[in-house]
Amino acid sequence: LKYSSQVSSRVQKNAHCGAGTGEDMPKMVNVKSEFDALIKGSKPVIVDFTATWCGPCQRIAPKYAEFAEATPSMEFIKVDVDEAEEIAAACGIEAMPTFKVFKDGKEVDSMTGASDANLLAMINKNK
């Protein structure tokens, strides 16, 4: 019973993330015009360029979501390179996962690979 109430309170706490609504956190963006508008926003934007078939991408996804929830000063989005080839091509994506940070529409930082520590360092440097 105690476990059940802990889970229930955790689900309610995370309800703002789309928990239980079928929405992913962070948001998946596959339309170039939406991507372009988001990276020009007032918050720094970190983008996870990912693919469903990419093992390292799937392994780091829970950490990326955890970092997103812990860093409200940044906007976290994901781009599936197979669903959004136009975005991936425009951003020069050659390997996954690739993470890029944009401020005022301009790329300011980038890393490739599924290192939790390197990703966290890049987030902290750019938030």
Q: Where are the alpha helices (DSSP H) in 1-127?
A: 2-13, 32-39, 55-70, 85-90, 116-126
Give the span between the Cα atoms of 63 and 44, in whole angstroms.
Answer: 19
| 17 flagged as catalytic | no
Adjacent-strand bridge partners of 50: 80
Q: Are 52 and 82 in contact (CB under 8 A)?
A: yes
User: 29, 45, 47, 57: which is the annotated catalytic residue?
Assistant: 57
User: 54, 60, 87, 93: which is the annotated catalytic residue?
Assistant: 54
| 91 flagged as catalytic | no
Catalytically annotated residues = 54, 57
